[in-house]
Copies of this chain bind each other. A is one copy, B any other.
């Protein structure tokens, strides 16, 4: 199948310059503040976004290296298929985070609870709405028994 090409619409400016030490999920990135700079030519697309409390950021995991099909994720010691993990190194390194939107000034989004590396190219922004996006899962796979480690375990650089 042919390649699909996207042009970044912005860039993340965050305190996380290196994978090592970065929170591994936004839900445990308490109070981390960052800004998303949307390039001025896309600023018109932000109209009314400030009326949402949470947003999805889709971004390119620009420091992830390789396209492994099996990985040992941060929270486990056993290998799993990459699509059963949130590993940044994957066949198409698209990152997905839900973050809290504090405010928007012109083309700058001020956000909280971010787990995204500084310099990450932003591909898309979508509003997050509980009634559409929040589901109660019945089976959480290998993650279920390891979830208690989530607030302690940081990125250790294994995928860069």
Contacts and interface: CB of A to CB of B under 8 A. Distances in A.
A51 interface: yes
Given A27-B131, A53-B137, A135-B128, A6 B92 contact: yes
Interface string A95-127: 010100000000000000000000001011111
Category for how many chain A residues contact B = 35 or more
A58 B130 CA distance: 19
Contacts of A90: 45, 124
20 contacts: A4-B121, A4-B123, A5-B5, A5-B6, A7-B92, A27-B132, A45-B82, A45-B84, A47-B70, A47-B80, A47-B81, A48-B81, A52-B137, A52-B139, A52-B140, A53-B137, A54-B135, A98-B133, A127-B141, A133-B134
